[in-house]
Structure formats: structure tokens, C-alpha cells
Amino acid sequence: MSDTERPQLYLVTPPEFDLDVFPAQLAAVLDGHEVSCVRLALATRDEDRVARAADALREVAHARDVALVIEKHALLVERLGLDGVHLTDGARNVRKLRKDLGDDAIIGAFCGVTRHEGIGAAEGGADYVAFGPVGETPLGDGSRAELELFQWWSEMIEVPVVAEGALTAELVEKLGPITDFFGVGEEIWRSETPAAALRALLAPLG
């Protein structure tokens, strides 16, 4: 993407949230910022809880013309009226799910820090590829998606790229010219005022 294009915003839900509180929090963020997509990324494997959360967030997102995708649970996409799925295992299932879900579904793939995995996902029909974490985090194995990866991708590959994981305002400034989306989650949901936290995080974009 060119230096003049501002990256779009992709919100990721917390792994746990209170259904009585979070939909209103999400609505406030969506009303205050232009968001392209929301990812429902619950840690639970309780199908009923996932379904209830999806119903609540779909109502909030779709009322504002924002797509809602679900992490991992591809079989629930059509059943719950969602817009697509975010895969966490790189390129592995992209091609099959593109066939199963059709051309209209959003299919994204998290590819960690691996260029090769990202290329495989792009060739398999992914709508976007996500790399991360881009910031310092004690979680995982300590590896990071470096700026060079995004620089190379933005020059060589047409499939949109998402920068996510431990974002800071400093990283937003550096990655702004070389990523298509910022995937923002825990960085703002830990705050009492997520909309304000998001504004501060994205401040370098102007």
C-alpha cells in the first residue's frame, strides 16, 4: 500500500468477556472509530456461550455495517449468520474452507512470523494474512513479526496484511505505511475507556 493510505482497523474481542457489558463497550468503540471488521475470539469451547456471544455481537456489528468473523470455528459461520472465519493455523485449511464456505465468506489466516506460511495462505484463497506479535510480549516463544516482513509483503504481495499483537503507538507509527490493517484487541480492552485507549494507540496516524 502507498504511504498516503491509512491502515484500516480490525478489532479483536478479548478471550473472555461479560455478555452484559461487552456489547455496549464494542458499540461505543464502533461508534467512535471507523472499523472494517470484528473478530470474535473467545477462548471457551462451550458452543452455547460462543453462539450467544456471536448473536449479541452480530447485532452490534451488522447494525453499523461492520463484518463479524469468528476465530477457528468455521462450522459455525453459516449457522450463526457470520461473515467469515479467522484461522489460527496458517495456510493449512484455507483452500478447503474457501471451497466449503464459498467466495463471499471472509477467510483470514494468522501466520505468526512466517513468510512462507503467509504465501501459502494467500495462494490458497485467504482474504487477508495476519502476522504477529509485532510487539514485545512474554507470551509465546518470544519471536516477533519484524518490520522487514511487512515491508516485503507490502511490496510483493497483493493480499492485504494485518499487523497484530502487543501493538504500541510507536509500532503503529512505524508500521502505518507498510500494513493494510491493525488488529487491535487486548491493547484497548484492558482499559476502562476502550474508545479513548484506541484513539491514543492510533494517534500517530493523524
Beta bridge partners of 69: 39, 84
pLDDT tens per residue across span 89-146: 999 999 999 999 999 999 999 999 999 999 999 999 999 999 999 999 988 888 999 9
Q: In 3D, which of 61, 59, 57 has the Cα closest to residue 37? A: 61
Region 13-40 average pLDDT:
97
Average pLDDT, the chain: 96
Region 38-47 average pLDDT:
97
Cell of 64: 453499523
What is the per-residue pLDDT for 138? 87
Q: Tell me the CB-side half-sphere exposure of residue 24, using CA atoms within 13 A.
A: 6
Q: How far apart are CA 81 and CA 51, in angstroms?
A: 10
Q: 10 Å Cβ neighbour count for 88?
A: 15
What is the per-residue pLDDT for 21? 96
Q: Are 126 and 108 in contact (CB under 8 A)?
A: yes
What is the per-residue pLDDT for 141? 87
pLDDT tens per residue across span 139-185: 888 899 999 999 999 999 999 999 999 999 999 999 999 999 999 99
State the pTM of this model.
0.96
b/e map 102-141, b = 16+ CB within 10 Å: eeebbbbbbbbbbbebbbbbbebbbbbbbbbbbbeeeeee
DSSP 95: H
What's the pLDDT band for 3 if we cut at 50, 70, 90? very low
Report the CATH fold assignment for 8-205. Answer: TIM Barrel (3.20.20)
